[in-house]
Amino acid sequence: MDGLELIERIDRWGTLAPTAIAHESDGRAITYQELKTHSDALAGCLLDELPDDRSPVMVLGHKEPELVVAYLACIKAGHPYIPLDTALPAQRLEIIRASSGARLTLSPQGVHERITLHASARPSETPHEGATQMENGSFERVAYKPEDPFYVIYTSGSTGTPKGVVISLGNLNSFLDWMLVEHPLVEQDEVFLGIVPFSFDVSIMDLYLCLYAGGTHRSLTRDEIGDPARLHRALARSGATAWISTPSFARLCLVERGFGAGTIPNLRRIVLAGEVLSHELASELLDRFPGVPLWNAYGPTEATVLSTSVQLDRELLGRYPDVPIGFPRPGGSVLVMDENGQPVAEGERGELVIVGPHVSPGYLNRPDLTSQAFFTLGNQRAYHTGDWGRALGGLLFFEGRHDDLIKLHGYRIELGDVEAHLKALPGVQDAVVLPTWRDGQPERLVAFIILSERPVRDDFQATLNLRRHLSERLPGYMLPQLYRFVDTFPLTVNGKADRKKLAEMLT
Amino acid sequence: MSVTSTTASKVLDVLVRITGTDEVRRNLDLPLFDTGLLDSLGVAELIIGLSDTLGIEIAPSEVERDLWSTPRQIIAYAEERIKA
């Protein structure tokens, strides 16, 4: 894919299939014609509002059709977008706004045909509202170069400040080129389930593959996913042909015994990514969806959604004790390196280093963090994942992290991020956050807290207070579920909180 | 409803395990979702836990979240199912 072929293709469906549904969520839909008209109009407004400088624009919402309009409008106007979910509390949004330098936030206001601009000319000003005329569609699209930033996705940072991963148009095109070969799509006959929120980069795969093929992106809301009966009604009605989710979500659905190929008869592919896939879940999916290709895939946000993939079958599962994360994608490579940056021998454990055209230019406005994690190998961009792994016969296996980053139900969480915010709360003297584990995977977060004054009787009330305060700073998926109040932490010989001993207190 | 009934105490045992707090025993009207004690994966775990413990099959597709939002409601659901 060259230049803006992606956007051109999506626009073309506006002429070829004007009434086809491009995106649908919570009973509200947008056609391809509307998507084209509205995104052109909004792009025109953005061109008036912002200089042609590739500065990022925040787009805030939860799965609404207007978000897709806004993403395309940003690109058409020459600005990368930062997809943000309403699960993020205001304080975190403010940190992202300040650190990204975004001058504008786009967010839907519930009325289908209109998008309200929350604009502030300078970061110091209070955002003001001003409705936009969507009919005013005359504008000239800004020329985008492969190195221009396309989107910026914010992930948890170890010190409590999220960091923005920049993905360029060239990165995205490289990813989509690979995906379109691996998953041949039937034009105008695909329904992609939108399971993860747009702030999580797995959604880049389902949204853009779907729009590229002129399919329908059927996005499930948080409320639907959180209500078992509603979820199963939505899945049964979806007509989905593509399922891309975390293993956690698949497991959640499989609790319903009757759930399987009969429920989603048109399903053509299942792709799981974002966390470790167990043998048991993979086998169960093969049983429930016979004949539907099942893929496992892996990749950090820093290397454009996915870097490895493999189609699973019983023979492959039977050959290895762990489910492989796959082969490196074509055009890229995944090296297993020791601490000196030298490749380890076949089958040895080392750090996974990703090399190729899909590796990000770095973190937005953070040259310090960028130079720590990214480097150039030969003439290609490379990224230190911080993930342990090993390669056997070309297949890669994931073996955990060598720091405090965990993947909880697909969400990337730096334990230090949660700890920093806990320690900033009034009354908290010190805090350590640890995951509990089940079958080798993190299950939930536990916070060990030293309070300046411990409530005499009511630990539960203290828990609720902490949770409430923390939820003003962190999204729900980062909140510890369990809180244990202690008077002191056991210490290591270096005088640091002994995480191992604390973890033992949980068993 | 008495929490001394066998079903109720079994339900509460499962709830204590999943939410990690005894508070669910002390306050049967505790809003489990609003307090963050249960989320979508927690509900799935609860369904599995209750099915195993009580020996009944609970289909998630029959579980309306609004009717499962406090310990008292979940106990009532379980007792109803066992009676039926």
Q: Do B39 and A226 touch (CB under 8 A)?
A: yes
Query: Which residues on A lie below 8 Å from B37 (Cβ)?
Result: 481
pLDDT at A131 over 90: no
Which chain B residue's Cα is nearest to A446? B20
Burial label, A347 (beta-carbon count in 10 A; 0-12, 13-18, 19+): exposed
Whether residue B24 lies within 8 A of chain A, CB to CB, comes out as no
Alpha carbon of residue A239 to chain centroid: 24
Whether residue B29 lies within 8 A of chain A, CB to CB, comes out as no
Domain boundaries, chain A: 405-504
Q: Minimal Cα–Cα distance from B66 to chain A, Å?
A: 8
Q: Specify if B56 maps to a domain.
A: yes
Best mutation target, B35, B40, B65, B69, to test chain A (most A CBs within 10 A): B40
* Confidence tier at A325 by pLDDT (50, 70, 90): very high
Q: Provide the pLDDT for residue B20.
A: 84
What's the sign of the alpha-carbon dihedral A289, A293, A296, A300? negative
Best mutation target, A255, A284, A477, A479, to test chain B (most B CBs within 10 A): A255
Q: Minimal Cα–Cα distance from B42 to chain A, Å?
A: 9
pLDDT tens sequence across A32-78? 999 999 999 999 999 999 999 999 999 999 999 999 999 999 999 99
Q: Name residues 38-77 of chain A within 8 A of B (Cβ).
A: none
Q: In chain A, pLDDT over 90 holds for what percent of residues?
A: 77
**Angle between helix A65-76 and A5-16 (nearest 10):** 130
pLDDT at B2 over 70: no
Q: Do B60 and A255 touch (CB under 8 A)?
A: yes
CATH of the domain at B65: 1.10.1200.10
Q: In angstroms, rounded to a whole number, what is the distance separating the alpha carbons of residues A301 and A411?
A: 11
Q: Is A24 helix (H, G, I), strand (E, B) or coil?
A: strand
Q: In angstroms, rounded to a whole number, what is the distance separating the alpha carbons of residues A72 and A42?
A: 9
CB-CB contact of A410 with A275 (8 Å): yes
Best mutation target, B39, B47, B58, to test chain A (most A CBs within 10 A): B39
Q: Provide the pLDDT for residue A4.
A: 55
pLDDT tens sequence across A150-169? 999 999 988 889 999 999 99
Q: Is A77 helix (H, G, I), strand (E, B) or coil?
A: coil
Which chain A residue's Cα is nearest to B35? A464
Average the pLDDT over A101-112 and give the result.
Answer: 77
Of residues B41, B48, B64, nearest to A229 (C-beta): B64
Query: Which residues on A lie below 8 Å from B40 (Cβ)?
Result: 225-226, 228, 231, 252
Which is nearest to A434 in space by CA: A392, A476, A473, A489? A489
Tokens of A37: 């008209």
Q: Provide the pLDDT for residue B4.
A: 58
CB-CB contact of A463 with A483 (8 Å): yes
For residue A57, list its beta bridge partners: A81
Q: In angstroms, rounded to a whole number, what is the distance separating the alpha carbons of residues A428 and A463?
A: 12
For residue A408, list its beta bridge partners: A411
pLDDT tens sequence across A183-197? 999 999 999 999 999
Q: Minimal Cα–Cα distance from A411 to chain B, Å?
A: 14
Burial label, A20 (beta-carbon count in 10 A; 0-12, 13-18, 19+): middle
Q: Minimal Cα–Cα distance from A444 to chain B, Å?
A: 10
Q: In angstroms, rounded to a whole number, what is the distance separating the alpha carbons of residues A19 and A504?
A: 59
Residue A351: count other Cβ atoms within 10 Å of its Cβ: 19
Q: Do B60 and A258 touch (CB under 8 A)?
A: no
Q: What's the whole-number average pLDDT of chain A?
A: 90
Number of domain units in chain B: 1
CB-CB contact of A241 with A267 (8 Å): yes
Whether residue A262 lies within 8 A of chain B, CB to CB, comes out as no
Which is nearest to A146 in space by CA: A117, A125, A177? A177
List of E strands, A366-504: 374-377, 380-392, 395-401, 405-408, 411-414, 428-438, 441-451, 482-485
Tokens of A502: 């604390």
Residue A337: count other Cβ atoms within 10 Å of its Cβ: 15
Q: In angstroms, rounded to a whole number, what is the distance separating the alpha carbons of residues A499 and A483?
A: 15
Q: Provide the pLDDT for residue B72.
A: 97
Q: Do A232 and B57 touch (CB under 8 A)?
A: no
Q: Minimal Cα–Cα distance from B70 to chain A, Å?
A: 14
Query: Which residues on A lie below 8 Å from B66 (Cβ)?
Result: 227
How far CA B72 is from CA of A393, A463, A493, B15, B76, in Å, comes to 55, 21, 48, 11, 6
CATH number belonging to the domain at A405-504, selected among 3.90.1300.10, 3.30.300.30, 3.20.20.70, 2.30.30.140: 3.30.300.30
Which chain B residue's Cα is nearest to A481? B37
What is the widest separation between alpha-carbon atoms in chain B? 31
Of residues A258, A409, A460, nearest to B41 (C-beta): A409
Q: Specify if B1 maps to a domain.
A: no
Which chain B residue's Cα is nearest to A477? B39
What is the widest separation between alpha-carbon atoms in chain A? 69
Fill in the amino acid letter for A411: Y
Name the residue range of residue B54's domain. Answer: 6-83
Q: Do A409 and B59 touch (CB under 8 A)?
A: no
Residue B55: count other Cβ atoms within 10 Å of its Cβ: 9
Alpha carbon of residue A481 to chain centroid: 21
Q: Minimal Cα–Cα distance from A66 to chain B, Å?
A: 26
Q: Which of A2-6, A471-475, B73-77 has the lowest mean pLDDT?
A: A2-6
First to last CA, chain B: 17
Which chain A residue's Cα is nearest to B58? A256
Whether residue A463 lies within 8 A of chain B, CB to CB, comes out as yes
Q: Provide the pLDDT for residue B3.
A: 56
Query: Which residues on A lie below 8 Å from B61 (Cβ)?
Result: 228-229, 232-233, 256, 258
What is the ipTM for the molecules in this complex? 0.84
Average the pLDDT over A131-150 and give the result.
Answer: 70
Q: Which residue has the tokens 């909004």?
A: A42
List of E strands, A12-148: 21-25, 28-31, 57-61, 81-85, 104-108, 115-119, 128-131
Q: In angstroms, rounded to a whole number, what is the distance separating the alpha carbons of residues A30 and A114?
A: 12
Q: Do B60 and A228 touch (CB under 8 A)?
A: yes
Q: Name residues 36-65 of chain B within 8 A of A (Cβ).
A: 36-37, 39-44, 47-48, 57, 59-65
